[in-house]
């Protein structure tokens, strides 16, 4: 929960290990309920269906409506895979999902793709709504085309993000654009394997793994790059991309995007208008589109301007926040 001079925060962890165990294992809100009641809570908003399952008994105890935002893995990973994880929270999600379906006042989906998957997963269609989280278009200013042939990839280093396909594509890009550079922001369990792959492909000297970076630094790196690449794929457990906030930030920055025709990505990237889309797991196609942009600054500028217009029209943070607050008002 965000903190600041005008924000009050409370966590179940504030009440000790016993409270955390009771909440995690048995969904027992315990002292958290009393703390929120004291704060005259009028509505609960959970992010991810997993947290919605935990918030459902808490919302009932407080007598307030519950809104849950569905982001991706919570409606794309198969139920059998969630159970096989043996994580108590994921197992509870599968076991108690009916309680959430019955008691949730509204289910927000970050893309049309996620809404379709949510309904397939069992979420009540009449209470689902598509409402992407926006970006601050006024705070993120377009930076124009740069001369350096730099590709930026911002992602957690997990299978779903397709970083291995990007490295294979980048090896092909380097044969066409020898001074091209790939900057990777993010960390995750595949970091070491991806580093080894870059060495195996003989591109390690042109790939920078920067690890996780503060948001402001990520935006600076975006401004200094020619193109953003997000080649997401469907992971072995079914996990898919909900939308990808970095796509919206790239649009606001006036940067073209090369991505895959996957998940919610086509809702932020229109092929041939503000970027290119290629099929999943096609490094050669990915490389071809990246080279096309790295060699054509005018096309980068054209796509970048179209991307900013799209984000301003469909994903502006102020407009999206107004829509969210309007939804709140209908429920309280």
Tell me the mean pLDDT in the region 63-90: 93
pLDDT digits (tens, 9 = 90+) for 89-107: 999 999 999 999 999 999 9
Enumerate the domain spans of the chain: 12-134+316-331, 150-312
pLDDT band at 237 (very low <50, low <70, confident <90, very high): confident
Q: What is the pLDDT of residue 3?
A: 45
Which of 229, 219, 109 lies closest to 165, judged by CA? 229
Decide if 12-134+316-331 and 150-312 have a common fold: yes
What fold, for 150-312? Rossmann fold (3.40.50)
Q: How far apart are CA 254 and CA 68, in angstroms?
A: 31
Q: What is the pLDDT of residue 5?
A: 53
Which of 113, 107, 2, 122 lies closest to 46, judged by CA? 107
Q: What is the pLDDT of residue 263?
A: 92
Tell me the mean pLDDT in the region 159-164: 96
Beta bridge partners of 316: 135
Which of 295, 282, 289 lies closest to 179, judged by CA? 295
Which of 122, 123, 129, 231 lies closest to 182, judged by CA? 231
Domain 12-134+316-331 belongs in CATH node 3.40.50.2000 = yes
- Which stretches within the chain are classed as H helix? 17-26, 31-38, 49-62, 73-76, 79-84, 88-103, 112-121, 163-176, 191-200, 215-223, 245-252, 283-294, 297-314, 317-331
Beta bridge partners of 154: 185
Q: What is the pLDDT of residue 30?
A: 84
pLDDT band at 1 (very low <50, low <70, confident <90, very high): very low
* pTM to 2 decimal places: 0.89
């Amino acid at each position: 929960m965000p903190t600041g001079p005008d924000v009050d925060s409370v966590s179940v962890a504030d009440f000790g290990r016993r409270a955390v165990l009771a909440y995690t294992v048995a969904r027992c809100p315990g002292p958290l309920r009393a703390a929120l009641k004291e704060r005259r809570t009028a509505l609960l908003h959970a992010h991810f269906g997993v947290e919605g399952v935990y918030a459902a008994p808490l919302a009932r105890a407080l007598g307030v409506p519950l809104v849950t935002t569905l982001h991706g893995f919570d409606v794309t990973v198969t139920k059998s895979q969630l159970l096989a994880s043996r994580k108590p929270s994921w197992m509870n999600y599968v076991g108690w999902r009916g309680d959430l379906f019955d008691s949730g006042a509204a289910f927000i989906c970050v893309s049309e793709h996620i809404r379709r998957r949510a309904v397939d997963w069992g979420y009540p269609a009449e209470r689902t709504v598509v409402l992407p989280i926006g970006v601050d278009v006024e705070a993120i200013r377009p930076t124009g085309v740069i001369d350096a042939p730099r590709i930026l990839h911002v992602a957690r280093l997990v299978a779903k993000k397709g970083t291995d396909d990007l490295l294979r594509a980048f090896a092909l890009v380097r044969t066409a654009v020898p001074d091209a550079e790939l900057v990777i922001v993010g960390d995750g369990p595949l970091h070491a394997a991806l580093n080894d792959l870059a060495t195996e492909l003989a591109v390690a000297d042109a790939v920078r793994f920067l690890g996780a970076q503060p948001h402001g630094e990520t935006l600076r790196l975006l401004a200094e790059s020619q193109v953003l690449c997000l080649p997401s794929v469907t992971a072995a457990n079914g996990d898919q991309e909900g939308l990808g906030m970095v796509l919206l930030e790239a649009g606001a920055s006036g940067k073209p995007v090369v991505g895959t025709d996957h998940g919610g990505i086509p809702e932020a990237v229109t092929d041939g208008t503000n970027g290119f889309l290629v099929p999943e797991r096609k490094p050669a196609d990915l490389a071809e589109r990246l080279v096309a942009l790295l060699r054509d600054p005018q096309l980068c500028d054209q796509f970048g301007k179209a991307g900013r217009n799209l984000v301003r029209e469909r994903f502006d943070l102020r407009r999206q926040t107004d829509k969210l607050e309007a939804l709140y008002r209908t429920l309280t």
